[in-house]
Amino acid sequence: MLAVLSPGQGSQKPGFLTPWLDLAGAEARLRWWSALAGVDLVHLGTVADAEEIKDTARTQPLLVAAALLAAEHLPLHDVTATAGHSVGELGAAALAGVLTAESAITLAGVRGREMAAACALEPTGMAAVLGGDPDEVLAAIEAHGLHPANRNGAGQIVAAGARDNLDKLAAEPPAKTRIIRLQVAGAFHTPYMAPAEAALAAVAGGIVTAEPARILLSNRDGAAVAHGREMLQRLVRQVTAPVRWDLCMRTLADLGVTGVVELPPAGTLAGLVKRELKGPDAPEIVTLNTPDDLPAARDLIARHGARPRHEPAPSFRVAVAPSAGTFGRAEGLAEGTTVRVGQVIGHVATRQGPVEVTAHGDGVLTEWLAGTDDPVAPGQPLARIGGHL
């Protein structure tokens, strides 16, 4: 099984898009996307220095554009799953078919500008806490009035909040940890970004979504999201919510992913996957940074790829498992029963507790695809809901 990953802010490097502009149509595509994003993506990806591309308003649409530009040269029909880190989720949503490329770029432009504006309201920042006991690290972050903005796995938790509180955390670090202040504009993925979330929600309300054509994982909880409108809502909420990349990697392992391609600028997510998913079942990884890496990426997809397991169909909706666990049907809910949007049709018992499975449209429960106490994997079909009322 093959997964494609889209990186987030901090992975950019000066000039990293330069070799991609040699491909036919690449520069024209970037200029079109520049008009949508409100920034010059060609300039930013080729000649801009590190300081210029560190600007949140510029970086976010640049990263989404880079991922989508490279993905156009891959056989995505053989990709089973996709996920992105932070703003990379917009790229992943486009690769899964939930958003058009134009919608993803537009949202990235709005997201970047509004998050940059929110950063200017108060002196905030972020710091990576490396090592230590995770529970002790989380307790120390909370004790200093900070937020665990990113839980990246592989012994890395990112604290975010007021700069004074970050200074206090650095002065009193948890046992066996190393703290590195991050060169970012503010406290991303915390309540400090509430104005940006509100602004993004206002624009997202006009976006038309489609159902995902492949398994699409969410930063919120590592769950496989089966419906486009839900994913869009999660993308908006994720501006102030923590990035749970640790849970995304756990889901990749639960899915049995054997191959991973990281889109440009690649390396950060590949490193986390290598450190977290070890052993004989560790996935084979290709980091796609230049067009010279395309043959290796295509070969990996050819060897590990497979058709998606839950392609959308026009005549019915399929409810899928959000996480790995054991499925239980809702009591008294039989085939042929009418269900309403939002109705709970079952639960998946997970290591973190039960997760509700809900109907994402009105219709009739036409067929159970999993039984009570059946073990299920993320994205596995559970029930078929047909027709409209």
Q: Domain range spanning residue 281?
A: 2-117+191-304
- Indicate whether 112 and 138 sit together in one domain: no
Average pLDDT over residues 260-272: 97
Identify whether 310 is part of a domain. no
Q: Looking at 304, 325, 353, which one is the last position of a domain? A: 304
> Residues 99, 218: one domain?
yes
The whole-angstrom distance between residue 343's C-alpha and the CA centroid of its chain comes to 26
* Any domain includes 79: yes
Residue 59 lies in a domain: yes
The pLDDT tens digits for 352-361 are: 889 889 887 7
The pLDDT score that the predictor gives to residue 310 is 44
Residues 68 and 216 in one domain: yes
Co-location of 274 and 201 in the same domain: yes
Question: How crowded is residue 172: how many other Cβ atoms within 10 Å of its Cβ?
Answer: 11
* CA 348-97-83 angle, 5° bins: 55
Q: List, for residues 40-70, the tens digit of each pLDDT value.
A: 999 999 999 999 999 999 999 999 999 999 9
Give tens-digit pLDDT for 137-157.
999 999 999 999 999 998 999
- Catalogue the active-site residues: 86, 189
Beta bridge partners of 3: 81, 260
Does position 389 have pLDDT exceeding 50, yes or no?
A: no
Domain boundary among 304, 336, 351: 304
3 state DSSP class of 130: strand
Q: In a 3-state reduction of DSSP, which class is residue 193?
A: helix
**pLDDT tens digits for range 91-127:** 999 999 999 999 999 999 999 999 999 999 999 999 9
What's 216's domain CATH number? Answer: 3.40.366.10
pLDDT score of 379: 73
Task: Assign 268 a pLDDT band (cuts: 50, 70, 90).
Answer: very high
SS3 78: helix
User: Are 290 and 243 in a shared domain?
Assistant: yes
Higher pLDDT, 193 or 318: 193
Buried residues in 47-67 as b, exposed as e (16+ CB within 10 A): ebeeeebbbbbbbbbbbbbbb
- The residues that bridge with 4 in the sheet, in sequence order, are 82, 261
Rounded to whole angstroms, how far apart are CA atoms 39 and 33? 9
**Nearest alpha carbon to residue 71 among 332, 264, 223, 242:** 264
Q: CA–CA separation, 220 vs 215, rounded Å?
A: 15
Closest CA to 98 of 207, 196, 197: 207
Query: What mean pLDDT comes out for the span 283-306?
Result: 95
Domain contains 288? yes
Residue 311 placed within a domain:
no
Which of 178-187, 203-212, 232-241, 309-318 has the least mean pLDDT? 309-318
Judgement on whether residues 103 and 223 belong to the same structural domain of the protein: yes
Q: Are residues 176 and 253 in the same domain?
A: no
In this predicted structure, the answer to whether residue 269 has a pLDDT above a threshold of 90 is yes
Is the domain of 146 the same as that of 57? no
Closest CA to 238 of 259, 222, 227: 222
User: Model's pTM, two decimal places?
Assistant: 0.82
Residues 347 and 229 in one domain: no
- Asked if residue 186 is part of any domain, the answer here is no
Using pLDDT thresholds of 50, 70 and 90, give the confidence band for residue 385.
confident
Domain of 342, CATH number, reads: 2.40.50.100
Confidence of residue 255 (pLDDT cuts 50, 70, 90): confident
DSSP state at residue 285:
E
Task: Give percent above pLDDT 70 in the chain.
Answer: 96
CA distance 138 to 159: 9
pLDDT band at 254 (very low <50, low <70, confident <90, very high): confident
**Does the residue 42 lie in any domain?**
yes
Specify the number of domains making up the chain.
3
Torsion of CA 340, 345, 351, 352, to 10 degrees: 30
The answer as to whether 358 is a domain residue is yes
Report the distance separating Cα 32 and Cα 364, nearest Å: 43
Query: Which CATH number is 163's domain given?
Result: 3.30.70.250
The whole-number average pLDDT for the span 221-243 is 93
More confident residue, 46 or 10: 46
> What is residue 316's predicted lDDT score, i.e. its pLDDT?
59
CB 32 within 8 A of CB 71: no
Q: Kindly state whether residues 7 and 45 are assigned to the same domain.
A: yes
Residues 105 and 240 in one domain: yes
Tell me, yes or no, whether 175 and 218 share the same domain.
Answer: no
